[in-house]
């Protein structure tokens, strides 16, 4: 279980590999959308990539999807429209399906740490794309994906800018208390099961897994967006991340959207995406 603490995640390798373009979805005047796959810790992770028209190399934004039941999820769900919005403005976007979602392989995902590992192996895989600039990498994450992004930026300095959109708590104890044992990869007769249960009963261990207490490690600029009527990820969770980053002296912007829930909609969505684009332009251009 020690492998999942922030300090050990910072020490481990994320070798990545070749990003394979499997087929083309659509081509527009601004970008081409592809179905892709890449390796992550012995697993094959699939996803959707939008490549802008032009020579490149382009700055990259990795788009982390929120929680959708795997049985209902489809590749690109929760990231489809923001991915194309950014691609139309010159960003190469990749939305990984993550282990257990879409056509990706299933793999160990203790308290969703597997998502972070898959995202960082994707960062390592970017040099295999001629049109991607691996020196200009941002990350966007909604809900569960926002929690993965918060953890990624305390682990890996290659991420230059991160957008946290209604993120889950960056305190793993709070996440565990909210959503409970269904988050753990319980396998019948697995001897690892007892170890998992013991770790989850220990708030001190979960503290060492939690990004909230390691914001001193962050080198990325951070932008946070939160609907103030969100009943899935309460505004207090985003505020706690904002406050922790401020205490650590980090670059952070915070935007609250009155009347909005877990998904920002209507005119506020356009405002949200303009702010996101301006932020990435400032830090990745």
Distance between CA 172 and CA 175 in Å, rounded? 5
Lowest mean pLDDT among 35-44, 98-107, 174-183, 187-196: 187-196
Judged against a pLDDT cut of 90, whether residue 34 lies above it is answered with yes
pLDDT confidence of residue 111 = 85
Q: What is the CATH number of the domain that holds 268?
A: 3.40.50.1820
Report yes or no: 210 and 6 within 8 Å, Cβ to Cβ. Answer: yes
Span 142-194, pLDDT tens digits? 999 999 999 999 999 999 999 999 999 999 999 988 886 656 554 444 444 55
Q: Which of 180, 176, 181, 44 is nearest to 107 (CA)?
A: 44
pLDDT confidence of residue 185 = 52
Number of domains forming the structure of the chain: 1
Task: Residue 233: give the domain boundaries.
Answer: 2-284
pTM for the structure as a whole: 0.94
pLDDT confidence of residue 196 = 62
Q: Dump the DSSP string for 185-232.
A: ---TT-THHHHHHHHHT-HHHHHHH-GGG-GGG--SEEEEEEETT-SS
């Amino acid at each position: 279980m020690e492998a999942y603490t922030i300090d050990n995640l910072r020490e481990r390798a994320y070798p990545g590999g070749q990003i394979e373009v499997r087929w083309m979805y659509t081509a527009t005047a601004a970008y081409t959308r592809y179905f892709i796959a890449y390796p992550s810790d012995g697993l094959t992770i699939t996803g959707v990539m939008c490549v802008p028209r032009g020579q490149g190399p382009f700055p990259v934004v990795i788009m982390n999807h929120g929680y959708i039941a795997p049985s209902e999820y489809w590749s690109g769900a929760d990231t489809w429209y923001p991915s194309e919005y950014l691609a139309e403005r010159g960003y190469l976007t990749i939305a990984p399906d993550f282990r257990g979602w879409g056509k990706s392989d299933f793999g160990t995902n203790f308290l969703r740490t597997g998502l972070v590992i898959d995202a960082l192996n994707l960062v390592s895989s970017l040099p295999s794309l001629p049109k991607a600039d691996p020196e200009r990498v941002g990350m966007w994450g909604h809900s569960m994906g926002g929690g993965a992004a918060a953890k990624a930026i305390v682990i890996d300095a290659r991420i230059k800018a991160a957008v946290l959109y209604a993120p889950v708590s960056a305190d793993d104890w709070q996440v565990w208390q909210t959503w409970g044992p269904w988050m753990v990869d319980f396998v019948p007769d697995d001897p690892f099961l007892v170890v998992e249960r013991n770790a989850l009963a220990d708030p001190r261990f979960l503290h060492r897994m939690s990004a909230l207490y390691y914001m001193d490690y962050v080198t990325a600029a951070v932008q946070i967006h939160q609907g103030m009527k969100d009943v899935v990820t309460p505004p207090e969770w985003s505020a706690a991340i904002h406050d922790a980053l401020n205490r650590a002296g980090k670059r952070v912007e915070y935007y609250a959207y009155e009347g909005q829930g877990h998904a920002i909609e209507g005119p506020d969505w356009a405002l949200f995406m303009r702010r996101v684009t301006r932020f990435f332009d400032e830090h990745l251009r």
